[in-house]
Chains A and B, each alone.
Chain A
Amino acid sequence: MRILLDKFSKSFGSTKIIEDMDLEVGSGEMLALLGPSGCGKSTTLFAVCGIHRPTAGRILFGDRDVTHLPSQERNVGVVFQSYALYPHMTVEENIGFPLMVKRIASADIKKQVADIAALVHIGDLLGRRPAQLSGGQQQRVALARALIRRPDVLLLDEPLANLDAKLRLEMRSEIRRLQKETGITAILVTHDQVEAMSMCDRIAIMKSGEIVQIATPSEMYKDPRTSFVASFLGNPPISFLKGKVQQGAFVLGENGLRLPLAAVSGIPDGTPLSLGVRPEHFGTTAGIPVEGKVVFAETQGRENLYDVVLPDGSVLRSIQPVRDDVKPGDSVRWHLDSASTFVFAEDGRRL
């Protein structure tokens, strides 16, 4: 079912969190709300599930206006960051709770709980209490509880934040699998770009209550609209060089490195710019040679990560297949793939 936020605004007292946000999530789509903490992504999620009431604007599920419906009547499933399992109930009672409050016959509940528990692979834990479960198992219970009443919409609030790294990887694909199998429309709130990129069809990246860009993960990675988006996606993160336009080229510092870039043409001389260079675009086989000194090297097994200080003091990051010939302190002359760099105006806009 499609979710539509139409001029949605939310403020707490006099503090405006979100103003006039428009967002559409297509039916069966999984969308990530990505942003740093305090950007309003959880507020948006809570408004969609009805825990917060919007200050202004409308929220539509399909064609149904749910803006003023209490959360009980919205038919949404939510997985909370802390899972919010009921500690005094068994796993079976937890999962069956949404059906139990609808006064469905207990035999029916038992059957449906068994089905959904099998789907999330916790069929053998039904008799336990949440305190007797590991984090990943609790996570699955929370998912099962959210899914059991076949909600129109599945909302996930930082569902992986409390899991350890290995489990996080496992649950990432697990949640995506369940979402695909059930064909449910889902919104994932997260501050982790890896989660957003790996799990979702599209990402809406948020900053201070506004959506900066909505795109598929690869589009957004290749074509960030602002320096904020560019800095948020990618691991290891992008590095920025500050410079000025000089005769159709980007010049780093006072008569330093000069990069002829197509994107710069037509910009008046002396305009301050910043240049975003992703680590995989420095240290390539072809491009403009750049000299610098390695100050930091880190191996990640398959790849090595280097920090290189340029003569003017700015730092470029490089990721390369493992090699043993470069140590911190070495001077290097590596190539920069200037065609893949991003040019941003001083206010962060992509040029």
Chain B
Amino acid sequence: MRTSRALGLVMIAPAAVMIFLFFLMPVVLTAIFAMTNMSTATGISGGAWQVTQTAVNRLKAEMPELAGGIAEPRFVIDEEGLAALEALKLKAGFGTELRTSHMGEVFPSRREAERMIKALKDRPSTREVKQISDLFNRSVLNTRFETRDQLMASLKKLGFTLTPAEQETVAATTYTGWVWTTENFRIIRNSPDMAQIFLNTAFYVSVTLLLFNVSYALFLAITTHYMPASTASVFRAIWLLPRITPVVIYVLMWKWLTWDSGFISMFMGQFGYPPKNYLLDSANNAWFFVILINGFIGASMGMLVFSSAIKAIPQTQFHASEVDGASRWQQVRHIILPQLRWPILFVTCYQTLSLLASFNEILLSTRGGPGRATEVWSLAAYHTALNNYTGNLEYGLGAAMALVLVVVGIVLSLIYLRIFRYDTLISKPLIED
């Protein structure tokens, strides 16, 4: 017993490792990334503290005084500057006087600092005044600090005394690396673009699913069931073609069909319509073709599942229902459909998830266009995180979008199980004699 259990664990170990590596880990990593603001700009390793003009602008809202101060150059008479002055080999009196009478003084602007330098006893020339003042310029603007403490030390040296809370704000606004945040979800919830993409997705998934993946597949399965076997297999083979054609070639054929020099344009040209790109000329047309492209692929899977499920119904049930007086339609309605509940659930569930997650057909055909008319959630996540025009790839936001997709998928599956009463489907029969 013990050895067989151990053996079982050993046997299942490869699968468990695979599931962990290729299923659980990506989900966990997605969840982790979703809680960050990683992007091309932040990089994925750590960052630095840099007082850029953008950071100052951000700071202006909360600490206008400080922001104004930081933005201005500042001049501080300190050891560092004196050392540099000595290295310049100017008159030694400059350094000595600055050290003795001005050490530690802070000047909020270049003008004030230079006025002080000009007034030194050794009378520096205008050129020298410029040279010297440069050495004591301690502005933090556009300076990169490797640690937070360096930034704070500099600010302190410049005469900004900050409370810990203020320090926190300054550090946060000047940090260039990624940070932990729930901002992504707020963006997703509040952005009207996201709402539009969500509606697009709901429309695309539900229409494709209802019209093609389930209804049309059922229609194909039932009609082929009542056909002679040879005719039926020809029909099934035809409807399998979209599924077995490589997707790039399949979509390319649709593009040929809809291009402005393609079949539809040529055909419509016969009736005097000018040629146009039917795939991308309007949002409605784009949706029409996107749904057809996906629907024709999806229908074949449902057709196969439903066909085999119908085949699994004992032939005598069809005989019996005929003898009982049921017409074809009544047979479909009362004998076939109720016994397809599980396959319908399976196809609905599976195809919902696959429609939610797959965007390759849309990417290859409309790229989400025209404009962003056919942009669906997964495609938007792809564009956000991995491929967009601005070049700033927002991994964090993209991951958050993907996570939303995972959650939506799980919730939908649970709802389906509820609607189709999964518990009764798997309930054990009570056989007695």
- Taking Cβ atoms with an 8 Å cutoff, the residues of A that contact B are 46, 49-51, 70-74, 76-78, 80-82, 84, 86-89, 97-98, 100-102, 129, 131-136, 145, 149
Q: How far is the CA of A133 from the CA of B430 in the complex (A)?
A: 8
Contact A132 B317 (CB under 8 A): no
Which of A81, A102, A133, A134 sits near B325, CB closer than 8 Å?
Answer: A102
Contact B323 A101 (CB under 8 A): no
Residues from chain A with a CB closer than 8 A to the CB of B430 are 131-132
CB neighbours (8 Å) of A131 from chain B are: 429-431
**Is B215 engaged at the interface, CB distance under 8 Å to the other chain?**
no
Q: Is the CB of B334 within 8 A of A101?
A: yes
Residues of B within 8 Å of A50, CB to CB, are: 322-323
Chain A hits for B338, CB < 8 A: 88-89
On whether A76 and B339 interact (CB within 8 A), knowing A82-B314, A86-B317, the answer reads no
B84-143: which residues lie under 8 A (CB-CB) from chain A?
Answer: none
Mask for B299-337, Cβ within 8 A of A = 1, else 0?
000000000000000101101111111110010001100
B423 in the interface, Cβ–Cβ < 8 Å?
Answer: no
| Interchain residue pairs with CB less than 8 A apart (25) | A50-B322, A50-B323, A51-B319, A51-B322, A51-B323, A78-B319, A80-B319, A82-B314, A82-B316, A84-B317, A84-B319, A86-B320, A88-B338, A97-B326, A98-B324, A100-B334, A101-B325, A101-B326, A101-B327, A132-B430, A133-B431, A134-B431, A134-B432, A135-B433, A145-B324
> Among the listed A73, A74, A84, which residue makes an inter-chain contact with B320, where contact means beta carbons less than 8 Å apart?
A84
Give CA–CA (A133, B327) in the complex, Å.
Answer: 28
Partner of B326, one of A72, A80, A135, A145: A72
Nearest CB in chain B to that of A102: its residue = B325
- B contact residues, total (Cβ < 8 Å): 23
Q: Which residue of A lies closest to B315 (CB)?
A: A84
User: Which A residue's beta carbon lies closest to that of B330?
Assistant: A101
Question: How distant is B311 from chain A, measured CB to nearest CB, in Å?
Answer: 16
A-B CB contacts (within 8 Å), total count: 77
Shortest CB-to-CB span from B341 to chain A, Å, is: 8
- Complex: A165 Cα to B316 Cα, angstroms: 24
A97-B316 CB under 8 A given contacts A72-B326, A86-B335: no
Q: Contacts A80-B320, A134-B433 given; 9 further ones with Cβ under 8 A?
A: A71-B319, A71-B323, A78-B323, A80-B319, A86-B334, A97-B334, A98-B325, A101-B327, A132-B432
Asked whether B429 lies within 8 Å of A80 as measured between CB atoms, the reply is no
Provide the bound-state CA to CA distance between A145 and B317, in Å. Answer: 13
In the complex, the answer to whether A132 meets B429 with C-beta atoms within 8 Å is yes
Complex: how many Å from CA A84 to CA B317?
Answer: 5
How many whole Å from A256's CB to the nearest CB in chain B?
A: 53
B314 in contact with A84 (CB, 8 Å): yes
Interface string of B170-200 (1 = CB under 8 A from A): 0000000000000000000000000000000
Q: Which residues of A contact B432 (CB under 8 A)?
A: 132, 134
Interface of B is mostly: helix
Chain A contacts of B431 at CB under 8 A? 131-134
| Residue contact A84 to B325, C-beta cutoff 8 Å | no
Closest to A51 in B: B319
Residues of A near B317 (CB, < 8 A) are 84, 86
**Distance in angstroms between the alpha carbons of A97 and B333 in the assembled complex:** 12
CA distance A135 to B330 in the complex (A): 27
| B339 A97 Cβ-Cβ under 8 A | no
Least Cβ–Cβ distance between A90 and chain B, in angstroms: 12
Which partner residue on chain A sits nearest B324 by CB separation? A98
Bound CA span A77–B321, Å = 11
Q: In the complex the two chains form, what is the Cα distance from A76 to B327 in whole Å? A: 15
Q: Which 4 A-B pairs have the closest CB atoms?
A: A131-B429, A84-B316, A84-B320, A98-B324
A129 to chain B, nearest CB (A): 7
Task: Please state if B322 and A88 are interface contacts (CB–CB under 8 Å).
Answer: no
Chain A contacts of B341 at CB under 8 A?
88
Neighbouring A residues of B322 by C-beta, 8 Å? 50-51, 70-72
* Neighbouring A residues of B324 by C-beta, 8 Å: 97-98, 101, 145, 149
Q: Which residue of B lies closest to A75 (CB)?
A: B325
Chain A hits for B323, CB < 8 A = 49-51, 71-72, 74, 76-78
| A134–B430 alpha-carbon span in the complex (Å) | 10
How near does chain A come to B137, taking the closest CB pair, in angstroms?
Answer: 86
- Minimum CB–CB distance from B205 to chain A (whole Å) comes to 29
Docked Cα-Cα span, A77 to B325, in Å, equals 10
Which residues of chain A are near B334, meaning CB under 8 Å? 86, 97, 100-101
Q: How close is A131's CB to chain B, nearest CB, in angstroms? A: 4
Most B CB within 10 A of own CB, among A46, A72, A133, A134 = A72
Alpha-carbon gap, A164 to B115, bound state (A): 118
Bound: A166/B9 CA distance, A: 48
Residue of A nearest to B319 (CB): A51
Give CA–CA (A149, B338) in the complex, Å.
23
CA of A46 to CA of B319 in the docked complex: distance in angstroms? Answer: 9
A89 to B325, CA, bound (A): 17
In the complex the two chains form, is B320's CB within 8 Å of A78's CB?
yes
Query: A78: nearest residue on chain B (CB-CB)?
Result: B323
Alpha-carbon separation in the docked complex, A100 to B429 (Å): 26
- Bound CA–CA A241/B323 (angstroms): 47
* Contact bitstring B5-37, A, C-beta under 8 A = 1, else 0: 000000000000000000000000000000000
B345 vs chain A, min Cβ distance (A): 14
CB distance from B347 to the nearest CB of A (A): 18
- CB contacts (< 8 Å) of A49 on chain B: these are 323
Within the assembled complex, what's the spacing in Å between the Cα atoms of A98 and B322?
9
Complex interface: chain A residues within 8 A of B339 (CB): 87-88
CB-nearest residue of chain B to A133: B431
Docked Cα-Cα span, A49 to B314, in Å, equals: 18
Residues from chain B with Cβ under 8 Å of A72 in the complex: 322-323, 325-327
Cα separation A72 to B316 with both chains bound (whole Å): 15
Contact residues, B335-353 vs A (CB, 8 A): 335, 338-339, 341
Residue picked from B339, B432, B433, most chain A C-beta under 10 Å: B433
Interface string of B263-295 (1 = CB under 8 A from A): 000000000000000000000000000000000
Q: In the complex, what's the smallest C-beta–C-beta distance from A245 to chain B, in angstroms?
A: 51
Q: Taking the nearest CB of chain B, how far is it from the CB of A117, in angstroms?
A: 16
Report chain B residues within 8 Å CB of A87: 339
**B324, B330, B335, B430 — most chain A CB neighbours (10 Å):** B324
Interchain nearest-CB distance for B123 vs A (Å):
107
Chain A min CB distance to B396 (Å) = 49
In the complex, which residue of chain A has the Cβ closest to the Cβ of B320?
A84
- Complex Cα distance A129/B338, Å? 14
Interchain CA distance A135-B323 in the complex, whole Å: 22
